[in-house]
């Protein structure tokens, strides 16, 4: 029997709120629900694999082809874990590992996508290959996973997606322009898809971590400096000034080298709890940085809307250029509008 989920930890969540027990579905707790974790060899995915196995789950750990060998993944194989390799950019590769999981465990109930790739550098400095690779990995990779697995989830009338997004999917970060664009695209995809799949009893959650530290050494070999799944590209002369906004992301990485951001191990424990939550949220923010950053972003958007709402544009052909007309009175009380319309008909 798997262990029951621990209580939400203020330290792990970094939210400073009350510790609460997640609403866990008892059927999910006591059944061995296989999890398929894409990006299972990255620092976040690796921690999630270990967390799930420690709770007695069956797990397929899907390694990333550019950093892991078939022998390394085969070494993970045991009664509870199946190690596979996959390139999420290739739809056939994704479909193949999902089929192997189904053949091995007979079913899969939770699919997590922890795979990701980003380049730290000004938008102007990133070449077409780097930008396309970020979109192919982050957006198309997510879409490939969903399209390959959703027919099975629909057939069994149950399934969970845990899609790792980022705070960069909710706010623009200088030095991460194309990466932010991929995460914005993922956020829009999942939010729209939830309306389409709700009747199939399939759920999805966007996991938005802040800065997550590597609890284990990163052994990935790369020709340029890396941090997590980010490649750090040298700045061109136009953006090389120490105070350039385009270097913001790089400065943050250097600053975090001396700090202790959110733990990947603690994040993985919370995400495991999320996989067994009866009513999962659309978004789960991990760490105080994520909470504060997105809260500030939403506050800024709200303030901007209030500052500029006086510019009211006509929305009907009958309305004049100056915005006058029936459709340009959003702030009027509905009863007043009905009364004015009635008086107009009587006069006519």
pLDDT digits (tens, 9 = 90+) for 204-231: 999 988 766 655 555 445 444 555 567 8
Residue 183 has pLDDT above 70, yes or no: yes
340 vs 138: which has the higher pLDDT: 138
Pick from 239, 70, 246: which is nearest to 172 by CA? Answer: 246
pLDDT class of 252 with cuts at 50, 70, 90: low
pTM over 0.85: no
215 vs 277: which has the higher pLDDT: 277
**What average pLDDT does the segment 108-129 reach?**
93
Residue 239 has pLDDT above 50, yes or no: yes
Compute the half-sphere exposure of residue 207: CA atoms within 13 Å on the CB side of its CA.
Answer: 29
What is the DSSP-derived secondary structure letter of residue 325?
S
Of 126-140, 230-244, 287-301, least confident by mean pLDDT is 230-244
CB 28 within 8 A of CB 242: no
Q: Domain tally for the chain?
A: 2
Domain match, 248 and 140 both: yes
CA–CA gap between residue 259 and residue 184 (Å, rounded): 27
pLDDT class of 74 with cuts at 50, 70, 90: confident
**What average pLDDT does the segment 83-106 reach?**
95
Percent of the chain with pLDDT over 70: 69
Domain match, 323 and 277 both: no
pLDDT of residue 255: 54
Percent of the chain with pLDDT over 90: 41
Is 302 contained in some domain? no
Is 150 contained in some domain? yes
Strands (E), the chain: 35-38, 59-64, 81-86, 110-113, 118-120, 159-164, 202-209, 212-213, 226-227, 230-232, 262-263, 283-286
Domain match, 54 and 182 both: yes
Give the range with max mean pLDDT: 12-21, 254-263, 326-335, 337-346: 254-263
Is 241 contained in some domain? yes
273 vs 12: which has the higher pLDDT: 273
Domain match, 197 and 320 both: no
Is 54 contained in some domain? yes
Domain match, 125 and 26 both: yes
pLDDT of residue 249: 66
pLDDT class of 61 with cuts at 50, 70, 90: very high
CB 264 within 8 A of CB 140: no
pLDDT of residue 256: 55
CATH for 91: 3.40.50.720
Is 296 contained in some domain? no
> Which tokens go with 32?
């061995």
Residues with Cβ within 8 Å of residue 57, at least 6 apart in sequence? 2, 32, 33, 34, 35, 80, 272
44 vs 90: which has the higher pLDDT: 90
Q: Which domain holds residue 51?
A: 15-287
Domain match, 322 and 281 both: no
Task: Single out the residue in 237, 272, 287 at which a domain terminates.
Answer: 287
């Amino acid at each position: 029997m798997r262990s029951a989920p621990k209580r939400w930890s203020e330290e792990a969540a970094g939210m400073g709120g009350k510790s609460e027990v997640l609403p866990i579905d008892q059927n999910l707790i006591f059944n061995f629900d296989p999890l398929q974790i894409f990006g299972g060899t990255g620092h976040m995915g690796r921690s999630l694999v270990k967390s799930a196995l420690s709770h007695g789950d069956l797990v397929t750990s899907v390694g990333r082809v550019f950093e892991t060998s078939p022998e390394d993944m085969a070494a993970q194989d045991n009664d509870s874990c199946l190690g596979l390799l996959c390139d999420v950019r290739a739809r056939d590769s994704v479909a193949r590992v999902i089929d192997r999981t189904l053949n091995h465990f007979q079913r899969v109930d939770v699919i997590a996508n922890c795979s990701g790739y980003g380049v730290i550098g000004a938008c102007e400095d990133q070449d077409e290959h780097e930008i396309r690779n970020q979109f192919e990995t982050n957006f198309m990779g997510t879409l490939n996973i969903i399209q390959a697995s959703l027919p099975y989830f629909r057939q069994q009338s149950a399934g969970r997606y845990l899609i790792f997004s980022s705070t960069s999917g909710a706010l623009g970060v200088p030095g991460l322009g194309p990466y932010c664009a991929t995460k914005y695209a993922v956020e829009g995809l999942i939010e729209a898809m939830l309306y389409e799949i709700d009747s199939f009893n399939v759920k999805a959650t966007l996991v938005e971590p802040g800065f997550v530290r590597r609890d284990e050494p990163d052994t990935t070999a790369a020709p340029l400096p890396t941090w997590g799944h980010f490649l750090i590209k040298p700045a061109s002369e136009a953006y090389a000034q120490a105070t350039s906004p385009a270097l913001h992301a790089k400065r943050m990485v250097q600053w975090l080298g001396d700090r202790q951001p959110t733990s990947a191990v603690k994040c993985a424990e919370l995400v495991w709890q999320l996989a067994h939550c009866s009513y999962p949220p659309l978004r789960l923010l991990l760490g105080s940085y994520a909470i504060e950053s997105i809260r500030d972003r939403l506050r800024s958007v709200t303030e901007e809307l209030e500052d500029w709402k006086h510019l009211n544009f006509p929305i009907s052909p009958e309305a004049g250029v100056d915005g006058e007309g029936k459709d340009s009175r959003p702030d009027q009380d509905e009863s007043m509008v009905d009364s004015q319309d009635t008086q107009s008909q009587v006069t006519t």
